[in-house]
Amino acid sequence: MAIRILLIEDDRELGKALRNTLITEGHSVSTAASLSEAQALLANQLAGQVFDLFLLDLGLPDGDGRAFLDLARRASQAPVIVISARPQEESKIELLDAGADDYLVKPFSVGELLARIRVALRHRGNLAQPATLLYQRDGLHIDLVKREISLHGHDVKLTPTEYELLARLVRSSGQAVTHRQLLTDVWGPDYLEHTHYTRLYVGQLRAKIEKNPADPHFILTETGVGYRMLSGD
């Protein structure tokens, strides 16, 4: 089914190429080359023109794309994927914490963009439905209601902290979760500076559920951001 995308990109050549690619995929695409144009189109959404997803460049000629992100999060439940030339870790974390669903650093491949769009839409679709508390993928079975975890039919024993960390990742499966979000939700806001906690405990989880912890299949590292639990089957 076609989705309605608002593409906010001031590079007209890149914008044209992305628009043509998305249309070829069967999607409906509106474009904005400035913050004011994007804000006007979002206002039209409030009048009845609804978008399913936003692709947002940060470096706009009349303002910072963060202003649109703030407005979109107040006005819409549609996912926002930031596309930016800024590779800094701080920028990624700040934007994900501010409500962006994903962050792509230029240059990126068309295939990666389309995959990220599918994941973002799937995740938002899951949020619109009653939350699933059951995760299954390649022999890993996690039941967050019964607090049971098994791998190929064998029980997996976790410490309370390991369990809470895994549960947090499962609830956002398919989407990157920042170190800051994990520290706040699992350990509390007083532990925001203890980023080594997430690395240590993710390492312990991988040792218990991954066939090869050095080449993880379930919990992936999002470099400079945090971790992503692959979506369940």
What integer best gives the mean pLDDT of the chain? 86
pLDDT: which is higher, 78 or 219: 219
Q: Which CATH number fits domain 134-229: 2.40.110.10, 1.20.1070.10, 1.10.10.10, 1.10.3720.10?
A: 1.10.10.10
Cα–Cα distance for residue pair 64/57, rounded to 1 Å? 9
Strand order in the sheet with 102-105: 28-32, 4-8, 53-57, 80-84, 102-105
Task: Encode pLDDT of 40-63 as tens digits.
Answer: 888 776 545 578 899 999 889 998
Q: What are phi and psi of 99, to 5 degrees?
A: 125, -5
Per domain, the residue ranges of the chain are 4-128, 134-229
DSSP annotation string for 63-114: EEHHHHHHHHHHH--S-EEEEES---HHHHHHHHHHT-SEEEESS--HHHHH
Question: According to the model, what pLDDT value does residue 1 have?
Answer: 54
pLDDT: which is higher, 112 or 2: 112
Distances (CA, A) of 92 to 22, 44, 67, 105: 24, 29, 16, 9
Task: Encode pLDDT of 115-126 as tens digits.
Answer: 889 888 877 664
Domain 4-128, CATH: 3.40.50.2300
Rounded average pLDDT over 90-109: 84
Between 46-55, 73-82, 223-232, the lowest mean confidence (pLDDT) is in 46-55
> Is the pTM of the predicted complex or chain greater than 0.75?
no
DSSP annotation string for 28-77: EEEEESSHHHHHHHHHHHHTT---SEEEEESEETTEEHHHHHHHHHHH--
